Amino acid sequence: MEAIQTNAIDAFTTIFRRDLKLAMRRRSELVNPLAFFVIVVSLFPLGLSADSNMLLRVAPAVLWISALLATMLSLESIFRSDYEDGSLEQLVLSHHPLPVIVFGKIAAHWCTTGLLLTLISPALGISLAMPTENLGILLWTLLLGTPTLSLIGSIGVALTVGLRRGGILLALLILPLYIPILIFGASAVDMAMHKLEVAGQLYLLAALLALSLTLAPFAASAALRVTLE
């Protein structure tokens, strides 16, 4: 049993480090979601109004919708390059547990996308006139929500990775599953700005994260096996 656990940990670590190195070599793909996030959020003050009260009302929704779309923009990078060069088939056929390998790839994707989006979100929140005392809640919601976006998105990517133009189908598959995360994340920030209790929304986001951590790697693994058959 101990040898199996060690084997699984080694497989996760190897895949995680490999995908991080590949992401650093493809820096344009790494920057694209971040640039998209910054540009979309920055355009709202220009398109709406410079009035701080109006910006404050829409800030939670703007930040969360932009983070969600930026995450979707980078989802195909989880499996696409491995599928195109044939290494994905080798990973599926390897003696290592496939859910562990998939989880390593999802973790690397979150570190290069969701985590970076979370880290730059306070600066964008300030640009939308958010009070500094509410930035902590924004960070918490994104720290709980963005990993769930990557985990759920990996299932959709695994189902569509064999399609040449699967972007639209991917969006149709995962957007309905993203709605609860968007609702709870944006409402938590909004309620914090109105000085209301936000523990309930944070607990729900944490519950969705725990559920996704438990089920998503196995679901994505099963989808990959079906896609590659």
Indicate the average pLDDT of the chain.
87
86: left (phi over 0), alpha (psi -120 to 50) or beta: left
Across 28-55, average pLDDT: 82
Q: H/E element holding 20?
A: helix 2-25
124 vs 35: CA distance, rounded Å = 12
The yes-or-no verdict on residue 94 having pLDDT over 50 is: yes
The yes-or-no verdict on residue 48 having pLDDT over 70 is: yes
Give Cβ neighbours of residue 16 (< 8 Å, ≥ 6 apart).
104, 105, 107, 108
**Structural domain boundaries, residue 49:** 2-228
Across 50-56, average pLDDT: 74
Q: H/E element holding 47?
A: helix 27-47
Q: Please, are residues 25 and 32 in contact by the beta-carbon 8 Å criterion?
A: no
What pLDDT is attached to residue 109?
Answer: 93
Across 215-220, average pLDDT: 94
Total domains, the chain = 1
Per-residue DSSP letters for 122-181?
HHHHHHTT--GGGHHHHHHHHHHHHHHHHHHHHHHHHHHTTSTT-HHHHHHHHHHHHHHH
Length of the chain: 229
40 vs 26: CA distance, rounded Å = 23
97 vs 74: CA distance, rounded Å = 25
143 vs 136: CA distance, rounded Å = 10
List pLDDT tens digits, range 97-124.
Answer: 899 999 999 999 999 999 999 999 999 9
